[in-house]
Amino acid sequence: MNTWSTEIAYAIGLITTDGNLSKDKRHITLTSTDIDQLQTFCRCLNLKNRICLSPPGSYSKNRCYKVQFSNVRFYNWLLTIGLMANKTFNLLSLTIPDKYFPDFLRGHLDGDGSVIYYVDRHNKYKGKTYTYNRLYITFRSCSLSHIKWLQESINRILDIKGSLSGWRNKKKKNRKTLWTLRFCKKDSLVLLNYIYYKTDLPCLLRKKNIADNFLKLSNMHETNYAHRGTRIHSG
The CATH code of the domain that includes 30 is: 3.10.28.10
d(CA 139, CA 110): 9
36 located within any domain: yes
Answer whether residue 123 is part of any domain.
yes
Residue 53 CA to residue 64 CA, distance in Å, equals 6
Within this chain, do residues 214 and 162 fall inside the same structural domain, yes or no? yes
User: Based on the domain organization, do 116 and 230 belong to the same domain?
Assistant: yes
The answer to whether the CB of 24 falls within 8 A of the CB of 1 is no
The domain tally of the chain equals: 2
Q: Which residues, 6 or more positions from 132, have their beta carbon under 8 angstroms from its beta carbon?
A: 119, 120, 121, 123, 222
pTM of the model: 0.86
- State the Cα–Cα distance between residues 25 and 22, nearest whole angstrom: 6
The CATH number of the domain where 216 resides is what?
Answer: 3.10.28
Mean pLDDT of the residues in the chain: 87
- For residues 127-147, one letter each, b for 16 or more C-beta atoms within 10 angstroms of the residue's C-beta and e for the rest, the string is eeeeeeeebbbbbbbbbeebb
Residue 228: the pLDDT is 43
- State residue 212's pLDDT score: 86
Residue 170 lies in a domain: yes
Q: What is the pLDDT of residue 4?
A: 97
Same domain, 215 and 181: yes
Q: Do 23 and 76 share a structural domain?
A: yes
100, part of any domain: no
Q: Are residues 229 and 122 located together in one domain of the fold? A: yes
Residues 82 and 117 in one domain: no
What Rg do the C-alpha atoms of the chain give, in angstroms? 19
CA distance 143 to 148: 9
pLDDT (tens digit per residue) in 174-215: 678 899 999 998 999 999 999 999 999 999 999 999 888 887
Give per-residue pLDDT as tens, 71-106: 999 999 999 999 999 999 999 999 999 999 999 999
Domain carrying residue 205:
111-234
Of 25-29, 103-107, 117-121, where does mean pLDDT reach its minimum?
117-121
Query: How far is residue 228's CA from residue 196's CA, in Å, rounded to a whole number?
Result: 28
Are 145 and 56 in a shared domain? no
- Predicted confidence at residue 170, as pLDDT, reads 67
**Looking at residues 45-61, what average pLDDT do you find?**
79
pLDDT for residue 123 is more than 80: no
Same domain, 130 and 226: yes
Residue predicted with more confidence, 126 or 201: 201
Q: What per-residue confidence (pLDDT) applies to 122?
A: 67
Alpha carbon distance 225, 230 (integer Å): 10
Chain-centre distance for alpha carbon 96 = 16
Under DSSP, the state recorded for 162 is -
Q: Output the CA–CA distances (angstroms, integers) from residue 104 to 17, 95, 178, 217, in the order listed.
A: 11, 11, 21, 26
